[in-house]
Amino acid sequence: MNIVHSAQPAVSLSEKGLHVVLADGRQAYFNYYWLRDNCPSSFDPATRERVFDIFHLERPPRAETAALDGDALVVGWQGENHVTRMPVTTLALYADGHRRPDPADLPRRAWHGDHYRDVARFSQPDLIADRSKVAAWIEALIVEGVAVVTDMPDSDQGLTETAQLIGQVRPTFFGAYFDVRTHIKPTNLAYTAKALELHTDTPAEEAAPGVQFLHCRANSVEGGGSLFADGVAVANDFRAADPHGFHLLSSIDIPFYCEHDSYDMRSRQRVIELDDKGEVSGLTISQHMADIFDLRQEVLDDYYPAFCRFGKMLQDPRYVMNFRLQPGECITFDNHRIVHGRAAYSATSGDRHLRGCYTDRAEMRSTYRALVGEGRFKT
């Protein structure tokens, strides 16, 4: 081993960790537990999992020797016959306690009611044949929250194979798939011909499903136009226009429910969801599934007017895309961000059938990362 010692030591040991001068001149500190646990030898190259168990160390890890050697920091450990060669690139990445870069952390682009002609569209056979198209599709779902898949096979299987390009079909308490058409004994407003106000799906679930697929199999009725709006666009404007109302809607949980003969689902959600940077990441809203608000009535003196101001804003035509889904199209969208609804239709004027299912947002991002890179194990 060729350890370079300079007059000014680049590495100095202290009680709980060591200081090292990085290639860019930064003085950085690393804790001994962190250095020992994340030794490259801790990870199995085949499974990519950590195979070192730090809980089994007999005493706290402590460096006996440490020095820079080319592109690595070499650490010899006290009381252990083990040497760590930690790449300096890894040290540089973790030196400041910043989160690991995530290729799926793409900035959201808010859109308005005139967005329909610009909605990203992907042909289903192209998606099946070309994984780079799947990456572009997911990118649209992360950035804009909505995309249309065209040329869908007219089959149940067509929806399944499309959803599985992104992730596993994620059941809700209604089951793995749902068919939106008029039902004789409806358990849900969706299964009638009535208008359906803008909403996100299944807010009564503790973790509502992330990505929704609606495959149009038939649409020959009069009426029944689709309505879609970007919750991020509306909530951002609401934040600027009504900061106090925004604060209430993004900090107070309200109850949602879904109840019928054999189920009684309940949850509490915030109407406006913020991400860890404090930016609007989406909405949870549904007039037909909002439970009776069980907040203190004095709180409602402020909450209700804000809730209504926001609800009115959501319906403003400048935010709402209004279009007709065509048979063979499948609209895909972020169920925590995009609100959707439909105009009433005449059930006797023809057929209207949308078959739907969901996948997870986290799994969608996982698929995207795998398509655009190889994470820490990229070679």
Distance in angstroms (rounded) separating the CA atoms of residues 181 and 363: 29
CB of 289 to Fe ion, least distance (A): 10
Of 62 and 342, CB closest to Fe ion: 342
Of 201 and 273, CB closest to Fe ion: 201
| Structural Rg of the chain based on CA atoms | 26
CB of 137 to Fe ion, least distance (A): 21
Check: CB of residue 332 under 8 Å from CB of residue 148: yes
H/E segment holding residue 180? strand 178-180
Distance in angstroms (rounded) separating the CA atoms of residues 328 and 333: 16
Of the candidates 144, 197, 201, 230, which one interacts with Fe ion according to CB under 5 A?
201
* Of 343, 60, 327, residue with least CA distance to 196: 343
Which span (76-84, 97-105, 198-206, 255-263) binds Fe ion, by CB under 5 A? Answer: 198-206
Which span (120-128, 197-205, 258-266, 328-336) binds Fe ion, by CB under 5 A? Answer: 197-205
Of 38 and 200, CB closest to Fe ion: 200
Output phi, psi for 63, to 5 deg: -75, 140
Of 197 and 360, CB closest to Fe ion: 197
CB of 285 to Fe ion, least distance (A): 11
Neighbours of 108 (CB within 10 A): 20
Check: CB of residue 66 under 8 Å from CB of residue 76: yes
Q: How many residues line the site for Fe ion (CB under 5 A)? A: 1
H/E segment holding residue 115? none
The residues, any chain, with a CB within 8 Å of residue 262's CB and separated by 6 or more, are: none
* Of 148, 335, 143, 341, residue with least CA distance to 228: 341
CB of 190 to Fe ion, least distance (A): 6
CB of 267 to Fe ion, least distance (A): 16
154-183 residues near Fe ion, rule: CB under 5 A = none
Of 38 and 226, CB closest to Fe ion: 226
* Strand, helix or coil for residue 138: helix
Neighbours of 251 (CB within 10 A): 10
Window 306-345: contact mask with Fe ion (x via CB under 5 A): ----------------------------------------
CB of 41 to Fe ion, least distance (A): 50
Which span (10-18, 119-127, 132-140, 196-204) binds Fe ion, by CB under 5 A? Answer: 196-204
- Interface residues toward Fe ion, by CB under 5 A: 201
